[in-house]
Amino acid sequence: MDDTSGGDEIVYAYKATLMGGAWVLRLAPDALLWSLGAMSGRVPYRDIRRIRLGFRPVTMQSYRFLAEIWADKSPKIQIASASWKSLLEQERQDAAYVRFIKALHARIREAGGTPHLTAGAIPFLYWPGFVIFAGICIAMLALIFRAIQQGEMTATLFLLGFFAVLLWQLGMFFKRNLPRRYTLDAIPADILPTPAKPEPTPPG
């Protein structure tokens, strides 16, 4: 699913689950409109009291971002950058997600809203996880050093490869999800996806 625009409205749609209905979110001139199956609602921009943006990979999609929105008299609204496409695939919607999130923040600013804006993970979950990650990295370095001392080149290469993958995947997760505050006109780039560049058209 992708977004469409018409008049003053910007629309974003995605499927949070394979079997469930699609979230459809619209940025009307004065409010965020949402629908999920038979449920729907309207949230004036000034009533949005909190937004959290983060990097939330899942099994079927390792490059996935999530926006969580809280407002008075409304259920929590979640907006993901990926949508279920089939039993084994989630489709990335990076460009549409970025456009919608940036436009939402602009609408809130124009309406005079003052929500509490946070980026990254919840601190009391993030920091214990980071300490465990740092401990694993130290243990891996110790194993690599011992393998080098004993001249075990095969084991050394294996451990170095595993350590590189660990640093890339978990390191990126902790880097993007560092808890912090931000403002409506300065969204941190690392908690928004980078849209893939279109493939060049082959010469005709």
Name the residue ranges covered by the structural domains of the chain.
Answer: 4-120+179-191, 123-174
Strand, helix or coil at 68? Answer: strand
The ranges of the chain with pLDDT < 70 are 1-8, 196-204
The pTM of this model reads: 0.81
Residue 83 has a CB neighbour count (10 Å cut-off) of 24
pLDDT, one tens digit per residue, over 60-71 is 778 899 999 999
Region 4-120+179-191: CATH code: 2.30.29.30
